[in-house]
């Protein structure tokens, strides 16, 4: 993905994204995903929702994303398995794992398999948004 710079941006300024961040959310908690996606859209994030690991994989086959937010515990597939598949499909896409309390060890395992980072659920919106932006900045620099 090519990044466009604003011609008026001074060279010392942090690079600006001319495009909205393209985010894939994969989580089987429908209400949580709907609220989260609505709040992120208001903050200039282009959100695609997926309610299972299988659906997330199918969506990633058809579209490109800057970042995925992936729940660790889902009914149909384990988040670590989905992460492994995502990293084979798009090694450059940053993946942020979401996990509940008590599953931090599994989230750390996700880091070993290529996740960008993990956050504990429920996380503050601003904390998640900062992590998404950080992941995009790392991708730009690569």
18: tokens are 């001319």
| DSSP conformational letter for 73 | B
Q: What is the rounded distance in angstroms from the CA atom of residue 93 to the CA atom of residue 85?
A: 12
Domains of the chain (ranges; CATH) run 24-123 (3.40.50.2300)
pLDDT of residue 108: 82
Strands (E), 51-127: 67-71, 94-99, 117-120
pLDDT digits (tens, 9 = 90+) for 24-42: 999 999 999 999 999 999 9
pLDDT digits (tens, 9 = 90+) for 64-83: 999 999 999 999 999 999 99
Place 22 in a pLDDT band, splitting at 50, 70 and 90: very high
Place 47 in a pLDDT band, splitting at 50, 70 and 90: very high
């Amino acid at each position: 993905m090519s990044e466009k710079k604003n011609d008026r941006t001074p060279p010392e300024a942090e690079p600006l994204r001319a495009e909205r961040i393209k985010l894939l959310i994969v989580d089987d908690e429908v209400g949580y995903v709907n609220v989260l996606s609505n709040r992120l859209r208001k903050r200039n994030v282009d959100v695609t929702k997926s309610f299972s690991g299988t659906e997330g994989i199918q969506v990633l086959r058809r579209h490109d994303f800057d970042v995925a937010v992936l729940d660790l515990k889902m009914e149909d597939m384990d988040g670590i398995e989905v992460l492994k598949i995502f990293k084979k499909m798009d090694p450059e896409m940053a993946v942020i794992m979401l996990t509940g309390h008590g599953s931090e060890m599994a989230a750390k395992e996700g880091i070993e398999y290529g996740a960008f980072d993990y956050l504990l659920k429920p996380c503050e919106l601003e904390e998640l948004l900062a992590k998404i932006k950080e992941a995009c900045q790392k991708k730009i620099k690569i």
